[in-house]
Amino acid sequence: MAEHPTPTPEDLRSRTRTLLEEPRPTPLDFLRARFDAGLAWVHFPEGLGGLGAPRALQAVVDAELAAAGAPDNDPRRIGIGLGMAAPTILRYGTAEQKERFLRPLWTGEEVWCQLFSEPGAGSDLAGLRTRAVRDGDDWVVDGQKVWTSSAHNARWAILIARTDPDVPKHQGITYFVCDMTDPGVEVRPLRQITGEAEFNEVFLTGVRIPDAHRLGAVGDGWRVAQATLMNERVAIGGLALPREGGMIAPVAKTWRERPELRTAELHDRLLGLWVEAEVTRLGAERVRQQMAAGAPGPEGSGLKLAFARLNQRVSGFEVELLGEDGLRYGDWTMVRPEKVDFYGRDAGYRYLRAKGNSIEGGTSEILRNIIAERVLGLPSEPRTDKDVAWKDLPR
């Protein structure tokens, strides 16, 4: 079969305009057509939402669609699917898995969540206890997961479970796709300091997962999970933002509109935070350029670490700047939101919710270790359990 030439920017503009010219009854119809036209992820293969084009050319498509006011897929609602599940399925999934999962994932018809962390295996994820035991063509899964964003809305989950307790902890893990509607899956809300239950704990009791829903080889789940985690950290910290975008935006707006709040000391601190926000934004742009040339590396951990630190410092500054107004929290109610909304809420919400940034997607302490070892080349911490069978580890 002859290879198609790599699309040029003008090719993509032409394809996008053709898509826009054809009427679609609903936003979902438009999104499906966009996927089928290869304009969802232009760097994905043809037939899977892409055209095999350089990743950087996605900006050409996005600009045309934004200018036309075309509907999007509400990426913050389906961020786990887009940023974590999709690249993992593309890299390790079978042809049948890619065909089944990628289109409804991208259009938002099916929401995804991540069943990784456990009560005793968060920072030490490889110590997880959830077991998957082979039973014919199925795996029977029992265990508990925690801090699961969007589990209450999700149809599918990416799941890692222990399939061999007789080998060292990193070697006995296998990666699965779990149907969240199956019997034995129970989702319970975890109420946060914001008053909401954005996170959940998930109990798995005798859940049957077909072997056809395994990603990667049996026992190779840790390697597959690393691909997910690398993409997750870029997805959290690497959003494309305009200058003065993100958490610094409402602070700068308040500073300009309320001169009575200004002091010389606050002025100096705001300037420092503005510069830090700009450095982080440009760092995210550099990581996206690296991704255009290949898979994300450990640099994404540095980006996510900077994002968490910046959000917490900026949100704390905003509360201090607003004085009494910053202490008000408008709606401390128990809801289970579909997505996190940092920018459509008040300063109190931003301050409280930003506390989670240094935990989700890898704790800041673990990310510092990754940067030290894999980016700076510093000696690794002593690990006495690397060659010990998981079943023999102290509990």
CATH of 112-221, one of 3.40.50.2300, 3.40.50.12780, 2.40.110.10, 3.40.50.300: 2.40.110.10
For CATH 2.40.110.10, the residue range(s) in the chain are 112-221
CATH 1.10.540.10 residue ranges for the chain? 10-107
Predicted TM-score (pTM) of the model is 0.88
Q: Are 236 and 364 in contact (CB under 8 A)?
A: no
Q: Are strands 156-162 and 112-115 parallel, antiparallel or unpaired?
A: parallel
Give the residue numbers annotated as catalytic, written as ranges. Answer: 232
- Give residue-wise pLDDT tens across range 182-202: 999 999 999 988 888 989 999
Render pLDDT for 1-44 as a digit per residue (tens, 0 to 9). Answer: 446 788 999 999 999 999 999 999 999 999 999 999 999 999 99
Closest among 90, 99, 88 to 47, alpha carbons compared = 99
238-375 CATH, one of 3.30.499.10, 3.30.300.30, 1.20.140.10, 3.40.50.280: 1.20.140.10
CATH code that applies to domain 10-107: 1.10.540.10
Phi and psi at residue 142, in whole multiples of 5°?
-135, 135
Least confident window among 31-40, 56-65, 86-95, 224-233: 224-233
CATH 1.20.140.10 in the chain, residue ranges? 238-375
Q: What is the pLDDT of residue 8?
A: 93
Q: How far apart are CA 101 and CA 391, in angstroms?
A: 34
